[in-house]
């Protein structure tokens, strides 16, 4: 009993000693746009705050949901008592629009396909001139959009537009291939993107510098091209897009 009492007393003393008594005990590093006051407000910290009552993983989850950041790490440090919050800013990679309660809403997306509002984007890093537009953004499209953004450099021409239409089809528009219909967001999306990049890199000489009216990749093993004077079988076989060298 004495041992339990001593343990409880010791814990109580430590708890009282390890206190956050002022904002100065909150360290914020890594962000060019988020300051200490914003972190404290988003985390809901009130001083004095027992250090041991703060759970780093839960606090990081809260901050990720409330701040325009890509990643958050939180650490409790005992000597001297403080918390350290490491932030990684989100980077806008494209302009975007979505349907909102008041009509079309303009914003941005990061490389993970997540929405960034116009207010959130103030002061955030921009990876390059934002020439890419995302139309019809919705939260459910984020994972698909992240796949497309990861593959954009594989296209011979600059990817200009990504569009999610009301019927559930994904469309791309590139300088080399024009409009590409990739079809539904299903298990074949990765294959369709591979075929699209393959066609962009291997189009016959008579297509170089010319934009088809449309390329339909909803069936990636039988792409259809709409262009006057050219039949779909004149395209290079998409099977070579995933076939290993040597024909094996």
| pLDDT confidence of residue 198 | 84
| pLDDT confidence of residue 244 | 38
Q: Which fold has domain 91-241?
A: Rossmann fold (3.40.50)
User: In this predicted model, which residue has the larger pLDDT, 13 or 56?
Assistant: 56
| pLDDT confidence of residue 237 | 53
pLDDT band, residue 236 (cuts 50/70/90): low
- Which SS3 state, helix, strand or coil, does residue 228 take? coil
Segment among 77-86, 115-124, 200-209 with least mean pLDDT: 200-209
Whether pLDDT at 4 is above 80:
no
Q: Does domain 16-89 have CATH number 3.30.70?
A: no
User: In this predicted model, which residue has the larger pLDDT, 27 or 214?
Assistant: 27
| pLDDT confidence of residue 231 | 55
Give me the residue spans of the domains in the chain: 16-89, 91-241
Whether pLDDT at 7 is above 70:
no
20-55 pLDDT, tens per residue? 999 999 999 999 889 999 999 999 999 999 999 999
| pLDDT confidence of residue 230 | 57
In this prediction, what percent of the chain has a pLDDT beyond 70?
Answer: 78
Task: Give the DSSP letter of residue 236.
Answer: P
What residues contact residue 185 under an 8 Å CB cut-off, 6+ apart? 141, 144, 168, 170
Smallest Cα–Cα separation from 131: which of 151, 109, 165, 161? 161
Sign of the C-alpha dihedral, residues 13, 17, 19, 22?
positive
Sign of the C-alpha dihedral, residues 112, 101, 43, 121?
positive
Instruction: DSSP for 57-110, please give it.
Output: HHHHHHHHHHSSEEEEEEEEETTTTEEEEEEEE-EEEEEEEEEETTEEEEEEEE
- Which SS3 state, helix, strand or coil, does residue 33 take? coil
| pLDDT confidence of residue 159 | 86
Phi first, then psi, for residue 142 (nearest 5°) are -60, -45
| pLDDT confidence of residue 43 | 96
| pLDDT confidence of residue 157 | 65
Helix (H) or strand (E) run with residue 115 in it: strand 115-117
Rg from Cα positions in the chain: 26
Q: How far apart are alpha carbons 62 and 40 in whole angstroms? A: 11
Helix (H) or strand (E) run with residue 28 in it: strand 26-29
| pLDDT confidence of residue 166 | 92
pLDDT band, residue 62 (cuts 50/70/90): very high
CB–CB of 44/53 below 8 Å?
no
63-76 pLDDT, tens per residue? 998 987 889 999 99
Q: How far apart are alpha carbons 125 and 72 in whole angstroms? A: 16
Whether pLDDT at 121 is above 50:
yes
In this prediction, what percent of the chain has a pLDDT beyond 90?
Answer: 54
| pLDDT confidence of residue 245 | 40
Whether pLDDT at 242 is above 70:
no
């Amino acid at each position: 009993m004495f041992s339990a009492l001593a343990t409880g007393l010791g814990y109580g003393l430590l708890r009282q000693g390890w206190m956050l008594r002022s904002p100065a005990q909150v360290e914020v590093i890594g962000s060019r746009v988020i300051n200490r006051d914003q972190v404290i407000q988003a985390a809901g910290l009130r001083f004095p705050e027992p250090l041991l009552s703060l759970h780093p993983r839960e606090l990081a989850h809260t901050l990720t949901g409330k701040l325009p950041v890509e990643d958050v790490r939180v650490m409790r440090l005992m000597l001297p008592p403080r918390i350290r919050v490491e932030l990684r800013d989100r980077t806008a990679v494209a302009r975007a629009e979505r349907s909102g309660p008041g009509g079309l809403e303009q914003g941005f997306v990061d490389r993970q396909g997540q929405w960034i509002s116009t207010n959130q984007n103030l002061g955030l890093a921009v990876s390059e001139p934002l020439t890419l537009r995302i139309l019809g953004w919705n939260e459910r499209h984020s994972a698909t959009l992240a796949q497309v953004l990861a593959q954009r450099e594989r296209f011979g021409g600059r990817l200009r537009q990504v569009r999610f239409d009301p019927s559930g089809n994904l469309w791309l528009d590139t300088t080399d291939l024009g409009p590409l219909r990739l079809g539904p967001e299903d298990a074949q999306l990765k294959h369709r993107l591979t075929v699209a990049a393959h066609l962009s890199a291997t189009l016959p000489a008579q297509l170089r510098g010319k934009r088809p009216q449309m390329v339909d990749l909803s069936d990636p093993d039988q792409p259809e091209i709409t262009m006057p004077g050219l039949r779909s079988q004149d395209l290079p076989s998409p099977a070579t897009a995933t076939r290993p060298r040597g024909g094996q």
